[in-house]
Structures are given as structure tokens and as C-alpha cells.
Amino acid sequence: MTKVLELSEYDESLLSGDFGEAPKIAMRILTRIAKMQNARELLDISHVHIGGSIYTGKGSLTVIERFVEYGARVTVPTTINAISVDKRQWRAHNVDEEFAKKAIRLANGYERIGASSIFSCTPYVFPEAPQRGQDIVWAESNAITFANSVIGARANRHGDFLDTCAAITGRAPKTGLHISHNRNANFLVEIPSFPYVDDSFYTALGYLIGQSAGNLIPVIQGIEVTPSVEELKLLCAAASTSGAVGLIHIVGVTPEAPTLKTALDGKKPHRTLQVTEAMLHKTLRSLTSAQGAPHLDLVVLGSPHFTLGDFYELAQLTPGRKVNPHTNVLITTSRFVLDEALSKGWAQEIERFGAQIRTDTCLCMLSPANLPQGTRSVMTNSGKFAHYGPGLIRQNIWYGSLEECINSAERGVPVTRTPRWLS
């Protein structure tokens, strides 16, 4: 049965054009989406992270430029996701000039309506990140899952342009994970004890959960040491890549999951997954789609964007070492994080190793046209890029931990082994 959408007096004023043409159009789109989602009402939001910043053709550019023409302005703190090019250095990256200029026009459009140009897919590492319990509209799947699972903010997965309309109106449909009882865990994931884990563990676990959860809300029991921001980033990114996961309760980490009983709201789970070492090992192997490379042409890191912690970890692996002359290493991050890494000397150390650092854009914007010439074999520590990479760059991918990627870059051949936490 279709529910009736009840609008507030403010919503009606927006819809009738009392605040101008741009809010009127934005509210018209929002109400249509809300009705499709069977929302009963709209709610106030505190933050927006724009995902429509990726140039996907004339339509994406027309939308924002039309809003600019109508005088649109954001009404809540709004940030911009990674864009299609490194805005400052695209000419050095073999990017088509017409494409680059349109991608930059798109980014400029969002800046003109008042959005902050962080150009990052990890908005949760910025100082203005939302707080627990706040309703937000964030695009970028890993950020949505991180916001729900780690911060305890409330966000749904949704299509492009809803985020833009929410930024202009400050409103969003009250559906899904914005509603408390929809956030209760009902899928128990039990993991064995490991004396040691690395980044590959969290990627494998997240990817396995995404494959297994379906439309259920998972809760992880058995993580004994509080994961770092970087480990949680990999977990959330992998889970939201292999499945439709928007929230993972981690007992002792997620604000709404101080205990397993609380996460489950005192109920029994609909389903339980007892994770084994064999499952995780199989999942890791599945992330490698390449085989038999005589040499390694490219290592890509930073999907989602490298954080300050990632730079620190990498800088500990590189002193006294050099990238093989026949191998390239590419890292994507935000300007904000790069500036912090430069201030600590970590970025300089990594560049001495031979890595190239790009900002504004992300690995998911790579294509065959802007890879280093002659690239045939590619390696990454990102479960997300291992998943999407073959379709994006038309090359199969080697997956390895960060340490394995650096060892491979130094030797010039893919070097992988069974992780120590599985030994």
C-alpha cells in the first residue's frame, strides 16, 4: 500500500517557489523520490557529501549548471566527492582536454552553489565530519557505510542528484537507515580469533560480508582489537562494493553496538555466518583476476583515498628502497591529507621511493587511455579497485596487502603469499 507523503509548512513553501526557482525544482525532485520510496515525511539533515561530481556526460553537467543559473545555494554544510581529474595537474596525466574541461566545469558548478571543494571520497577524515545521531545525505558508498557504522550518523545509499537537491533544501526522505528500527542488526557474523591481522584481513572480511548480507544488517562479533580508521575504511569499502551494505555493526566499535545484545535489539539474528580461515582465504584469492605476469607495470593505491594513517604506514615501508625502473606506483588522495603528509615528511619519503601522488580524482576514474603507456599488469591493495578495475581499465588485477604491493613494486613482479594471519 502506497503511503501518503506529508509535507511540512516549510516543504510546501519550497515547493511553491517562495524561496526561488532552484529550491522549488530541488523540492519537486525530492518529493517524487520520497513518494517512490514510500516515505511518509521528509527530515532535516545536517551534512551533504555530493557524489554527482563525477562527469558522466552532458546530463550531469547540465543539471548543476542549470541550478547555478537559477541561483541555487546549499543550505547545510556540503562537501564534494572526488572528481574525474586532478584539477591542477590533469595535463600531465594523458587526459583528453575536452573531457577534462567539462569535468572541471562540473566541479566548479558545485563550488559556485557553495559546496566545499575537498574532492575526496573519505569525507569522514575531515574536521567538519558529522556527529553521532545526525541525519545526513552522503554519496560514495564507502563513506555512507563508514558514517553509519563508525560515526553513528544516519545515511542511506541513493542515486545521484538526490544529494544535490538535499544540499539545496536541507531536507531528505525519512526512509531506510534514517529510521531507528531499520538500523537493528539481524545478521550475525562470527569471526575466529587471530593473533595478528593486516589490511588484507579487513578487505577480505568486508568483501565476504557484502557478498553474504543481502538486505540484512550485519553485526560482527569477535574483533578483539579496535581497528584503525584505515582498517575500518577498507572494511566498509569492501562490504559496500561486493554488496548493498550501508551499515555494519561492529561490537565495541559502532556507537549503537556496545554489546551484541544491543546491536540485535535483544532479538535473535535472522541468520548467522560463522567465518572460517578458509572462507577468508578464498575471498582474498577471488580478488586477484590476473595470472602469470612476467613483470609488474603499475601499482595503484588509494581507493578509497589514502588517509594520513595510510601515508604513515607506507612511509615506514619505503626507506632505502626504490620502485623498479619498469614499474609505476600511483596513489590518490585529497589535498587536505596530502598537505598533512607533506608537513610530516611522509609524502616526500614516498615520492623518493618513486611513487606518484595525485589529488582530487580517484582510482575509479582510471581508464585505458590514461594509464602509463604499455601497462599490461596492475596490482592494488584495494578490494574496491580489484572489483571494479578489470571493467574500468580492461586489465585483470593482482590483489595484495600494502606490504605486498610495495615488495612487488620494488622487484618489478607481482609478489604475493598467504597472509601471516592465515599461516
pLDDT given at position 54: 92
Q: Look up residue 334 and give its DSSP letter.
A: -
- What structural domains and CATH numbers belong to the chain? 9-180 (3.30.499.10), 198-285 (no CATH), 287-422 (3.30.499.10)
> What is the Cα Rg of the chain in Å?
22
Q: pTM for the full model? A: 0.96
Distances (CA, A) of 230 to 77, 200, 237, 294, 305: 24, 11, 11, 31, 10
- What's the start-to-end Cα distance of the chain, in Å? 54
Beta strand pairing call for 187-190 and 218-221: parallel
Read out DSSP for 128-179? T---TT-BEEE-SHHHHHHIIIII--B-----TTHHHHHHHHSEEE--GGGS
Average pLDDT for runs of 10 along the chain of length 423: 86 97 98 96 98 91 96 98 95 91 97 98 96 96 98 92 96 98 98 93 98 98 95 98 98 98 98 97 97 91 98 98 97 98 98 98 91 92 97 96 98 94 84
Measuring CA to CA, which residue among 70, 68, 62, 101 is closest to residue 83?
101
Q: Look up residue 5 and give its DSSP letter.
A: P
Give the integer Cα–Cα distance in Å for 173 and 39.
6
The amino acid occupying position 306 is: F
Give the integer Cα–Cα distance in Å for 81 and 334.
10
pLDDT given at position 1: 53
Q: Is 59 exposed, middle or buried (0-12, 13-18, 19+ CB in 10 A)?
A: exposed
